[in-house]
């Protein structure tokens, strides 16, 4: 326990320093484009960190980030139509995503391996079909299905949204560090390696998986609620799109799955790809999917994993050579 606390405290100083530097960037007159890039980086980072928590540390190949993102986005949008302030709607959206995760956990946790992945993959499609049939609250239908404009966000500047996204991105890093430094992190690592052995050792597999599932859904939902509040509009096809899964998956795999720093590097690359592929919207998903396959084949441990493996190999070589 003392080692875990020391590790957590030891990382707080550089973490706080980086957070302060990022927070003052708008005050220093950083170009608007940079703020937009960083806004997306923080939103995507929250998604990637939580997917890394689920897949990399809990062994849950969860393919439904779009369900959490879309449901939270719709919660904040519909909430503003019935009089709820958007900032409370963001919290309500995160709670709705967590509640949805809690609800579906009982049936989907009965599935294992590839069956769990398939079971979670269909959830965004079910929600998309539902909201395509949804009827707007207090207004006429816009776009495909029930498209909603988020009310009350017109006067919020990009700088303010940047700070909100910064808090969410930094919170996702802090949550990951806290979990990995706790008994929960040790239990999840044991479940990831072999859940049967973990259960026989007295670990409550269902409870720990449920904790990580609900926490991941809450943060993903909050990221989605902030994204759609900034966008000012939400509709079913975009909200429950597979691109949300690809963002989280690609960022984690590029950086290194099951590595704490992996999603940070991977997310930076994904944001760069987002803007580079903006002109190729018709085939951008195809390009990202091909890139994902290439990375999994050539560098399965990710960039950070490859660097750490190379450093370890060099250290062993120096020890073996007596240098």
Decide: residue 59, CB within 10 A, 0-12 exposed, 13-18 middle, 19+ buried: buried
φ, ψ at 281 (rounded to 5°): -60, -30
Under 8 Å CB-to-CB from 137, ≥6 apart: which residues?
Answer: 78, 81, 82, 148
Question: How large is the average pLDDT for residues 281-294?
Answer: 80
State if pTM tops 0.85. Answer: yes
Question: How large is the average pLDDT for residues 131-158?
Answer: 77
Q: Does the structure show a pLDDT above 90 at 3?
A: no
Instruction: Please answer whether residues 59 and 191 qualify as being in contact, where contact means their C-beta atoms are separated by less than 8 angstroms.
Output: yes
DSSP letter string, 288-308? HHHHHHHHHHH-TTHHHHHHH
Q: What is the pLDDT of residues 100-112, one digit of tens each?
A: 999 999 999 988 8
Q: What is the pLDDT of residues 193-249, one digit of tens each?
A: 787 888 888 888 889 999 999 999 999 999 999 999 999 999 999 999 999 999 999
Range scoring the smallest mean pLDDT among 60-64, 269-273, 280-284, 289-293: 280-284
Q: What is the pLDDT of residues 150-192, one digit of tens each?
A: 999 998 999 999 999 999 999 999 999 999 888 888 898 888 8
Q: Does the structure show a pLDDT above 80 at 118?
A: yes
On average, the pLDDT of the chain sits at 87
How far is CA 166 from each of CA 24, 42, 43, 230, rounded to the nearest angstrom?
A: 11, 6, 8, 13
Q: Does the structure show a pLDDT above 80 at 311?
A: no
Residue with tokens 């590595």: 259
What CA–CA distance (Å, rounded) separates 97 from 207?
A: 18
Q: Does the structure show a pLDDT above 90 at 38?
A: yes
Q: What is the pLDDT of residues 245-271, one digit of tens each?
A: 999 999 999 999 989 899 999 999 999
* Residues found in the chain: 323
Three-class secondary structure of residue 8 per DSSP: helix
Q: Where are the domains of the chain?
A: 2-241
Measured at the CA of 246, the angle between CA 245 and CA 251, to 5 degrees, comes to 110
What is the pLDDT at residue 241? 93
What is the pLDDT at residue 1? 46
For residue 147, give the nearest of 157, 134, 158 by alpha carbon.
134
For residue 257, give the nearest of 25, 6, 122, 62 by alpha carbon.
62
For residue 244, give the nearest of 112, 72, 26, 109 by alpha carbon.
72
What CA–CA distance (Å, rounded) separates 229 from 86?
A: 7
What CA–CA distance (Å, rounded) separates 39 from 162?
A: 5
Under 8 Å CB-to-CB from 139, ≥6 apart: which residues?
Answer: 81
Q: Does the structure show a pLDDT above 80 at 9?
A: no
φ, ψ at 19 (rounded to 5°): -60, -40
Q: Which residues pair with 149 in a beta bridge?
A: 233
φ, ψ at 234 (rounded to 5°): -140, 140
For residue 231, give the nearest of 45, 70, 95 by alpha carbon.
70
As a whole-number percent, the residues of the chain with pLDDT over 70 amount to 90
Helix H or strand E encompassing 149: strand 148-149
């Amino acid at each position: 326990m003392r080692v875990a606390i020391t590790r957590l405290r030891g990382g707080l100083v550089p973490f706080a320093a980086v957070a302060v530097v990022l927070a003052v960037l708008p005050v220093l007159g950083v170009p608007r484009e940079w703020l937009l890039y960083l806004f997306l980086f923080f939103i995507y980072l929250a998604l990637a960190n939580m997917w890394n928590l689920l897949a990399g540390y809990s062994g849950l190949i969860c393919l439904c980030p779009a369900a959490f993102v879309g449901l939270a986005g719709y919660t904040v949008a519909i909430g503003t139509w019935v009089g709820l302030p958007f900032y409370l709607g963001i919290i309500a959206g995160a709670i709705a995503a967590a509640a949805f995760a809690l609800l579906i956990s009982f049936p989907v946790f009965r599935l294992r391996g590839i069956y769990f992945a398939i079971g979670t993959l269909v959830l965004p499609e079910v929600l998309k079909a539902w909201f395509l049939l949804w009827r707007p609250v207090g207004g006429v239908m816009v776009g495909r299905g029930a498209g909603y404009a988020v009310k009350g966000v017109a006067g919020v500047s990009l700088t303010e949204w940047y700070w909100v996204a910064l808090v969410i991105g930094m919170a996702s890093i802090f949550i990951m560090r806290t979990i990995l430094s706790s008994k929960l992190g040790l239990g999840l690592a044991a479940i990831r390696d072999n859940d049967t052995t973990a259960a026989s050792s007295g670990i409550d597999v269902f409870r720990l998986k449920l904790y990580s599932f609900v926490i991941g859904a809450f943060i993903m939902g909050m990221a989605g609620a902030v994204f759609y509040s900034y966008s000012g509009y939400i509709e079913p096809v975009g909200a429950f799109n597979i691109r949300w899964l690809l963002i989280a998956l690609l960022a984690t795999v590029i950086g290194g799955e099951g590595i704490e720093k992996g999603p940070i590097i991977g997310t930076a690359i994904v944001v760069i790809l987002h803007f580079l592929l903006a002109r190729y919207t018709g085939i951008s998903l195809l390009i990202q999917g091909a890139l994902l396959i290439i990375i999994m084949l050539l560098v399965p441990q990710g960039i950070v994993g490859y660097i750490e493996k190379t450093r370890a190999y060099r250290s062993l070589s120096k020890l073996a050579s007596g240098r």
